[in-house]
Amino acid sequence: MKDKRILTLFLIVLTNQIGAGALLPVLSLYVEGQMGATAVQAMLVVAAFYAAQFISAPWLGRLSDRWGRRPVLVMSQIGTVLAYLGIYFAVPMGTAVDQWRLPLGLSGSLMIMFIARILDGVTGGNISVAQAYASDVSHTETRTQALGFIGGATGLGYVFGPVFGGLLSLVSVLAPFIGAAIITGSTLLLTVLLLDEPAERLTTSPEKSAETLFGNRIRPLIMSITFLSILAFSALQNIFPLYGAHVLFAAAESSSVLMLTVGLMLTFIGLVIAISQIWLIKPLASRFGERILVVMGNLMLALGTTAVLLAPSPLFVLLGFIPFGFGYAISLTSLQSLMTFTGNHQVQGQLMGWLQSALSLAYIGGPVWVGIAFAEINPQAPFFMAAGLFLLAMLLSVWLPTERQALLPLPTQDQIVELMDKSFWGWPPENPAPLLLHAMGHDPIEAESGGGDNAASPVQERG
C-alpha cells in the first residue's frame, strides 16, 4: 500500500493485537493461581470482556461517525492501557477493597479484575474503528486491499501475541500485563503522532433489521452454523490454559514455564490458521465450493478436538491442532463468504453486522459453558461437548445450497414487473436470470462464476 496512513494503521492494529494476544495463555492461569478463583470465575473474567465489547461496539461506531475516527481510536487505546494497568495492580487494589468488608461475594482483587476487563471491552472497539478509518481514506478500487491489511494485522497479532505473553511470563507472572500496557501505549503514540482525521467519513454502523436477516431463509442457517462452531471453538481456546495446568502439565513446577509452553502451543494454532487462510482457502474454495468447505471444516474441528483429548503427550496435542486450526480457517471464512452472497451490496453492512453478532454471542457463551463443564464435570468434558457441537454444525451445513445463485433472495414484485415490462416491449430474453440478478443489484457474471475473489477473502475481527 502506498498510503502511509494504511501502513500506520497496520502497525497500530498489529501491536495492539499482540498486546491482546499476550493475555491468552496467562490471564485465566493468573486469576486462578493468584486470586484463588474457580474455573467458572476465571472463564467469567474472560467472558466479561466480550460481553462489554458486544454492548459497546455499536455505540463506538456511531461515536466515531459523530466525533471522528482519530478521537475514538485514541480514547479506546487509553481505555485499554488503563485496563491492563488495572489487571497489573488488581491484587494490591483488591487488598484495599477487602478492608472495606463489602458484601460482594468475591475477593476485592477479583472484583478489580472484572472491572478492568469490562473497561477493556467497553473501549475495545479500536479494530472496527481502524477498519472504518481505512475505508475512509481508501478509494473504491483499493478498499478491499486496505481492509485486508487490517485483517492481516489482526491475524498476525494473535499469532505472535501468545508467545510474547509466554516469554514475558519467564520474567514474572505480572510481566505480560505490563508488557501489554507498554505495547498498547506505543500504538497510542503512533495514533497521536502519525494519524490525522480523514477528510470525509463514510457512514458505519448500519442498522440491523430483522427483515434483512429473515428475508432469506439461508441467512439464519448460516448464522446458526457460525454460532455453534464458534461457541465450541472459543470455549476450547479459552479453557486450554487451565486444561494444560490441570492435565497436560500437571506436574510442572514453574508457572512461568507452563505459561510459555501454553503460549507456544496457542501460537502454533494461529500459524495453522494463518497458513490455511493465506495459501489454502482460495484453491480449495475454487475446487470444492464453500458448502463442502463448511462441512469439511467442522468435521476437521471435531476430529482435531478428539485428537487433543486422546493425545498421550503434548506432542500429539500439537498434531491434533493441525486439523483443528485448518478446520476453523476454512469453515469460518467460507461461512463469511456465503453470507455475503445472500444479498446485494446495499445490505452487505447489515449482513456482516448480523454475522458479527452471532460471533460475539458465541465468544460470550463459550467461556461461560466451558468453565461450568470444566469445574462441575471434569477437565475432559469440554472436549466431548465441543466435538458434539462441531458435529451438529456439520450436520446443519449439509442443508446449505451447493450453488451460489441459490443463496440470492427471491426477486421482489417490482423486479418481476421490470422484467415483464421489458419482455412486453419486444425484448424477451431467452435466459431471464441475468436480468433479474442485475435488477436485484448483483453482477450476473460474478454470481454465475462464483464471485471472483470474495470466496477466498477472509474477514478478520477481534474476539
DSSP 388-456: HHHHHHHHHHTTS-SSGGGGSPPPPHHHHHHHHHHHHTT---S--HHHHHHHTT--HHHHHHT-GGGGG
For 334-379, the pLDDT digits (tens) are: 998 898 888 776 676 678 778 888 999 999 999 999 999 999 999 9
Three-class secondary structure of residue 215 per DSSP? coil
- Positive/negative CA dihedral, 31, 35, 40, 41: negative
pLDDT (0 to 100) of residue 249? 95
Cell of 262: 501454553
Cell of 457: 477473502
Burial of 446 (0-12, 13-18, 19+ CB in 10 A): middle
pLDDT (0 to 100) of residue 428? 46
Helices vs strands, H then E, count in the chain: 20, 0
Model confidence band, residue 7 (pLDDT cutoffs 50, 70, 90): confident
Cell of 361: 454471542
pLDDT (0 to 100) of residue 449? 43
- Determine the Cα–Cα distance for residues 338 and 290; give it in Å rounded to an integer: 7
Cell of 365: 457463551
Report which of residues 7 and 214 the model is more confident about: 7
Report which of residues 178 and 139 the model is more confident about: 178
For 66-112, the pLDDT digits (tens) are: 889 999 999 999 999 999 999 999 999 999 999 988 887 889 999 99
* 223 and 96 share one domain: no
pLDDT (0 to 100) of residue 427? 45
- Determine the Cα–Cα distance for residues 132 and 73; give it in Å rounded to an integer: 11
Supply the mean pLDDT for the chain. Answer: 85
Does residue 84 form part of some domain?
yes
pLDDT (0 to 100) of residue 199? 79
Does residue 17 form part of some domain?
yes
Distance of CA 12 to the CA centre of its chain: 18
* 405 and 418 share one domain: no
Three-class secondary structure of residue 124 per DSSP? coil
Does residue 457 form part of some domain?
no
* 180 and 307 share one domain: no
Cell of 286: 475454487
* 191 and 310 share one domain: no
* 296 and 185 share one domain: no
pLDDT (0 to 100) of residue 320? 98
pLDDT at 315 over 60: yes
Task: Give the predicted TM-score (pTM) of the model.
Answer: 0.85
Model confidence band, residue 176 (pLDDT cutoffs 50, 70, 90): very high
- Phi and psi, residue 169, nearest 5°: -65, -20
For 11-43, the pLDDT digits (tens) are: 888 988 899 999 999 999 999 999 999 999 999
Max Cα separation, the chain? 87
Angle at 183 between CA 179 and CA 187, to 5 degrees: 165
* 400 and 432 share one domain: no
Does residue 460 form part of some domain?
no
- Determine the Cα–Cα distance for residues 252 and 110; give it in Å rounded to an integer: 25
Q: At residue 343, what is the residue type? A: G
Does residue 253 form part of some domain?
yes
Structurally, the chain folds into a number of domains equal to 3
Q: Give the domain CATH number at 67.
A: 1.20.1250.20
pLDDT (0 to 100) of residue 442? 53
* 151 and 238 share one domain: no
* 34 and 139 share one domain: yes
Give one word for 196, left, alpha or beta, with left for phi > 0 and alpha for psi -120 to 50: beta
pLDDT (0 to 100) of residue 305? 98
pLDDT at 387 over 90: yes
Q: At residue 277, what is the residue type? A: Q
Does residue 115 form part of some domain?
yes
Mean pLDDT to the nearest integer, 152-181: 93
Mean pLDDT to the nearest integer, 217-227: 94
* 221 and 132 share one domain: no
Model confidence band, residue 426 (pLDDT cutoffs 50, 70, 90): very low
pLDDT at 454 over 50: no
Cell of 273: 490458521
Cell of 79: 481505555
Three-class secondary structure of residue 171 per DSSP? coil
* 399 and 434 share one domain: no
Structural domain of residue 437, as residue ranges?
A: 414-446
- Determine the Cα–Cα distance for residues 333 and 44; give it in Å rounded to an integer: 28
pLDDT at 158 over 90: no
Helix ranges restricted to H, 289-313: 290-310
Model confidence band, residue 58 (pLDDT cutoffs 50, 70, 90): confident
* 383 and 418 share one domain: no
- Pick from 79, 40, 74: which is nearest to 56 by CA? 79
pLDDT at 278 over 70: yes
Does residue 90 form part of some domain?
yes
pLDDT (0 to 100) of residue 152? 81
